[in-house]
Amino acid sequence: MNKVKFFVTGALAVLLSFGAMVGTASAEGVKEFYKGKRLKMIVGSGAGGGYDAFSRLVARHIGNFIPGNPTMIVQNMPGAGGIKAANYMENVAPKDGTVVGGMQRSVVLVQLMGQKGPKFQSAKLLWLGSLAKEAGVCAMASRTGITRLNQARNSSKAFAMGGSGQNSTEFWPALLRNTMGLNYKLIRGYPSTAQIHLAIAKGELDGICQSWASFKDQANQMLKDKTITPIVQISLHNDKEMTKLGVPLLSDYLAKENLVKGQTLDDVRLFFQLTVIPPLMGRPFAMASGLPSDRGQAMKTAFEAMAKDKKFLSDAKRIKRKIELVSGDEIQKIISSLSKTPPAKLAALKEMFKFTGPVEKVVLPIIVEGGKVLKIKRKGRRITIDFKGKKRRANVSGKRTKVFVDGKKVKRKAVKVGMTCNFHYYGHKTTAKKIDCKS
């Protein structure tokens, strides 16, 4: 009996020891893989918007929590409301744990509805987590006189809403027009919400729908000047800041008399509930399916540790971004919940997302603004000049921005404070096509 007991105990000890060795070997393998690596963050939107800000925030910090402490660079890949970047991550980029996607939250719903474009399965992606739970907002330029949602219903004027792809900038105006009859027209083709705000300020557009977090940052000065008015909260629950401003919830308008003929109250409520569930994973990050499991787990662990780190939270506060961690497992549950929606209802929602009113496509002009370089940040990735007494900032891409100094093509780090530079770009806080400097 004692011999049997000894054998079992000894065998158990060997198994536990072997398991510990495997775990240690796995951890060491992950560390060796990432050591000295340069990871890439693929952002599904243009520079200057909320997704871009959160992605660059993660890129600055996550390497400190990944075994081996790799660095990370950022590449913006706008197109089709984030679908282009998600497709690239899943089908083109290396599936070795070196590429992270700064995803647009709407891509999940777009894929589940069976829209053309997505070449990925949301449920199969490795979700690292999200850094925010977002409330949505629709806002109108104050010059339009629109202060409440239903005022746009009976207007003889079609109000121009800016769109940047298959996301809230286009989905919500379409849904509001199709279910409540709001007289909107859609102007597509903007690389990101930053350009939409510039167009509103210039009088080229009348309004925008987007997340509240990005809106209050990008429309900060217009809010102070009272030249833009938030008219509705698109959220399941009241947002404290918008409620304080007196902005009503969408549910306050959901009454039978406010609906287009043929729409039922139950269906319209369901449509809007489906569109506000993705914002619960407001700023999501993911990796491709089929990664080595030990690297995937290391990245999930690193993401959650980073989101709780004091230096990370301080940096987020500096750029005025509120952090609310949603774990990768929680995102998986949200996707699972969405996938249980009856196919007929998802098909109906897909039709509601089709903009039925006038649609135009903008071709943004490249403008040139020049002046003395005042400030350079992030090793030349952001350059600020004095243009006729006003500060103008350009984002500088390592691949998409051509940089010249004294007629010679150079890398962005060659630009120095005090030089005189011309920005060839879409406008303040956008990515420059070309920067031409004189020393």
Fold equal for 33-132+281-344 and 136-277+354-359: yes
Q: What integer pLDDT is reported at residue 50 of this predicted model? A: 85
Cα atoms in the 13 Å half-sphere on the side-chain side of 345? 17
Say what the pLDDT of residue 282 is: 84
CB–CB of 336/100 below 8 Å?
no
User: Does the structure show a pLDDT above 80 at 12?
Assistant: no
Give the class (CATH, top level) of 33-132+281-344: alpha beta
Residue 434 has pLDDT above 90, yes or no: yes
Cα-Cα-Cα-Cα dihedral sign, residues 303, 308, 312, 315:
positive
Q: 259, 265 in Cβ contact below 8 A? A: yes
Q: CATH number for the 367-438 domain, one of 3.40.50.970, 2.40.50.140, 1.10.3720.10, 3.40.1190.20? A: 2.40.50.140
pLDDT above 50: residue 139: yes
Q: What are residue 405's DSSP bridge partners? A: 408, 437
3.40.190.10, 3.40.50.620, 3.40.605.10, 3.40.50.10320: CATH of 136-277+354-359: 3.40.190.10
Indicate the domain borders of the chain.
1-25, 33-132+281-344, 136-277+354-359, 367-438
What integer pLDDT is reported at residue 26 of this predicted model? 62
In whole angstroms, give the CA distance from residue 7 to residue 11.
Answer: 6
Exposure string of 312-351, with b = 16+ CB inside 10 Å and e = fewer, is bbeebeeeebebeebbbeebbebbeebeebeeeebeebee
Give the pLDDT of residue 20.
43
Residue matched to tokens 């007494």: 389
> For the whole prediction, is pTM greater than 0.75?
no
Q: Give the pLDDT score at 424.
A: 97
